[in-house]
């Protein structure tokens, strides 16, 4: 079998072994990487994060953090890996149709339903960091711009969505927000853009500024949007 096409059993075994590995001396590098990113041991357990050492049998997992990607029912349908360095490509993802799933929805759906509000971000660590700081309505597109099917998936649980995409010089986050508004013209879902300082992603912002400041940004985004109808159309 091609190493990029794991069976359900192989995927389950990989996630279990890499998660166990990060708790052992051989997983020290992986544990240090996560702790340096502000990820707690409790969060590592909750999200079943793992680490594969440099001699792992599958090339795409060697010396990388392993992040299980679960569907809304809690089944692991794919894995993502992150290098310990910033050498590109930093991320590698097992192939699957991301457009029909949202990272973290399994963990977030009850809180999203309770508050009738979802916070849509881009990256894996954006989601994980927000949850660790008590903002448990966060889910991730993890594929650049969100897709229509992902919006439909969220609409099962809420009709209010805060978009918190990265702001960079390429304006990719702003373009993603614009696309979301275009996709949902005339749709009853309420979409609120939340802008962070340029060059800052949600993971960095919440680690630096804490839950209180992040919640304030979210509330401000909702209130400002109410006063600025027709922001993009």
What pLDDT sits at residue 232? 35
The residue extents of the domains of the chain are 8-96, 100-227
**pLDDT(186) > 80:** no
> Of 181 and 87, which is predicted with more confidence?
87
Number of residues that this document lists for the chain: 233
What pLDDT sits at residue 113? 97
The residue to which tokens 């190493």 are assigned: 3
Q: What phi and psi, each to the nearest 5 degrees, are found at residue 10? A: -65, -40
Question: Does CATH number 2.102.10.10 belong to domain 100-227?
Answer: no
pTM to 2 decimal places? 0.90
CB 67 within 8 Å of CB 79: yes
> Of 154 and 168, which is predicted with more confidence?
154
In this predicted structure, which of 73-77, 169-173, 174-178, 203-207 has the lowest mean pLDDT? 169-173
What pLDDT sits at residue 58? 83
Quick one: average pLDDT of 50-63? 91
The residue to which tokens 């997992």 are assigned: 61
What pLDDT sits at residue 2? 39
Q: How far apart are CA 206 and CA 54, in angstroms?
A: 31
pLDDT, tens only, 162-184? 999 776 555 555 566 666 666 66
Q: Give domain 8-96's CATH architecture.
A: Alpha-Beta Complex (3.90)
Residue 77: band (very low, low, confident or very high) from pLDDT cuts 50, 70, 90: very high
Q: What average pLDDT does the chain have? A: 87
Quick one: average pLDDT of 140-158? 82
Pick the closest to residue 79 from 18, 21, 138 (CA basis): 18
Residue 32: band (very low, low, confident or very high) from pLDDT cuts 50, 70, 90: very high
């Amino acid at each position: 079998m091609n190493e990029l096409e794991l069976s359900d059993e192989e995927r389950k075994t990989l996630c279990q072994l890499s998660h166990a590995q990060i708790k052992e001396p051989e997983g020290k590098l992986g544990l240090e990487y996560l702790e340096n990113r502000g990820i707690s041991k409790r969060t590592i357990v909750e999200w079943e994060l793992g680490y594969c050492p440099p001699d792992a049998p599958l090339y795409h997992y060697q010396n990388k953090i392993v992040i299980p990607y679960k569907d809304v029912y809690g089944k692991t349908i794919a894995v993502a890996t992150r290098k310990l360095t910033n050498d590109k490509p930093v991320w590698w993802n097992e192939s699957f149709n991301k457009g029909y799933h949202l990272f973290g929805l399994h963990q977030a759906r009850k809180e999203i339903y309770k508050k009738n509000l979802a916070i849509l971000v881009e990256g894996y660590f954006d989601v994980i960091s927000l949850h660790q700081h008590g903002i448990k309505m966060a889910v991730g597109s993890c594929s650049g711009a969100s897709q229509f099917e992902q919006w439909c998936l969220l609409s099962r649980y809420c009709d209010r969505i805060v978009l918190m995409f990265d702001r960079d010089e390429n304006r990719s986050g702003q373009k993603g927000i614009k696309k979301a508004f275009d996709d949902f013209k005339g749709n009853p879902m309420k979409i609120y853009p939340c802008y962070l300082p340029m060059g800052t992603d949600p993971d960095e912002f919440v680690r630096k500024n804490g839950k209180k400041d992040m919640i304030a940004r979210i509330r401000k985004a909702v209130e400002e949007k109410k006063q600025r109808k027709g922001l993009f159309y």
